[in-house]
Amino acid sequence: DRIDTHAFILRAMMEITPQDKRRHGLVQWLMLNKKLNHWKSTRATAESIYSLVHYMKSEGQLGKEERLSVDIGNTLKKDFVFKPHEYTGGKQQFVVKDKDITPDMATIKLDNKSKSLMFASATWHFSTEKPPANAQGDFFRVTRQFFKRSQVNKKWTLQPLAQGATIKVGDQLEVQLTLSSKHNAEYVHLRAPRGAGFEPMETESGYRWQGGTGFYQEIRDSGMNYFFDALRKGQYQFKYSLRATTSGKFKVASAQVQSVYAPEFNAYSRGDRLSIR
C-alpha cells in the first residue's frame, strides 16, 4: 500500500533525521492525497495518523491554538481561531453575498499565524452571458479545441477552427479536450457542453480507454461527461466527433473539470462561439 509505505517513511525520517527538510513536503503530500483520494485500508489510515501525530509532536504543534487571518479586498477581514480542546464545527467559512461584493475583493490574502499546515480555498459562484475568454485552472487544467473534419484525396484531415468560425450544415467536427492534473486524484468529473446546433456522432455511453486512462463516457443532450475513478498525475487528451445540424449562431459553454468530493479543486476552458449556415 503506497499510503502505508509513505507514512512509514515519514515516521522513519522523523526518528533518524528529524530535521530533514523533506519532512514538510512528505506531510503536505499525505494531507493533499487525503483530500483527493480515499485511503483503502484501516492499516494505511492508522499508520498515516500515527506518523502525522509523531510529526506534530516533533514540530511542537500538538495542543497549540491555531489562527488564520483572511483579508478580502480593502475592507473585509476575518480571523479564524481553532482551539486544541474545542470542536468549532465543520463549516469554517466566510460568505460575501451579491450586492456586498466589490471589485477589490478579487484580491484575497490568507495569513497562517500558526506553525501547522492549513488548507484554505476561495471560490466565486457567478453566472454571466459572456463566455470566459481564457482557460483558468491551477491544480487541474483543461483546454478545448474544435477542428473541421474534411476528406482530401480520400483521407480525413483536420482543420483548426478559430473563435467565431463559420461552417455548413452537415459538416463534421472533432473536439479535442486536453486535461492535466498536478497530483493523483480519484473521483473526478469532466463536463464538455455541446452547442445547440450540433449532434454527437456517437450515441452509446459506456466505459472507454483513451488518452492513457480509463473512464466512463456519458453522452447527454447537453454535452459529454467523463467520470474518472482514478486520474493519475499527468496530461491526457480526449476527442469526440460532432455533426452540424441546425443553422444559426451558437455559444458553447466552457468545459469544466472538478474533483467530486473536493470541489474547490476545479478548472474550466475558454468559452467558444461557432456559426452554422
Please report the DSSP string for 81-123 in residue order: EE-TT----S-------GGG--GGGG-EEEEE-SSS-------
What pLDDT does residue 79 have? 93
CA angle 160, 258, 134 (to 5 degrees): 40
What pLDDT does residue 99 have? 87
| Average pLDDT for 248-262 | 94
At residue 1 the predicted structure's pLDDT band, cuts being 50, 70 and 90, is: low
Is the separation of the CB atoms in 269 and 226 below 8 Å? no
User: Which pTM was predicted?
Assistant: 0.82
**Amino acid (1-letter code) at residue 114:** S
Mean pLDDT of the residues in the chain? 91
| Average pLDDT for 42-55 | 93
What pLDDT does residue 32 have? 87
What pLDDT does residue 180 have? 96
At residue 228 the predicted structure's pLDDT band, cuts being 50, 70 and 90, is: very high
| Average pLDDT for 264-268 | 92
| Average pLDDT for 158-168 | 93
Strand residues in 9-154 grouped as ranges (E): 66-72, 76-82, 108-112, 140-152
Percent of the chain with pLDDT over 70: 100
Question: What's the pLDDT tens digit per position in 182-212?
Answer: 989 999 999 999 999 999 999 899 999 987 8
Is the separation of the CB atoms in 94 and 120 below 8 Å? no
User: How far apart are the C-alpha atoms of 260 and 214, rounded to whole Å?
Assistant: 17
What pLDDT does residue 90 have? 76
Question: What's the pLDDT tens digit per position in 82-125?
Answer: 998 888 777 788 899 888 899 999 899 999 999 889 988 888 87
Residue 45 dihedral angles phi and psi, to the nearest 5°? -65, -45
User: How far apart are the C-alpha atoms of 196 and 57, rounded to whole Å?
Assistant: 58
What pLDDT does residue 235 have? 96
Question: What's the pLDDT tens digit per position in 121-150?
Answer: 888 877 778 888 899 998 999 999 999 999
User: How far apart are the C-alpha atoms of 168 and 49, rounded to whole Å?
Assistant: 60
At residue 40 the predicted structure's pLDDT band, cuts being 50, 70 and 90, is: confident
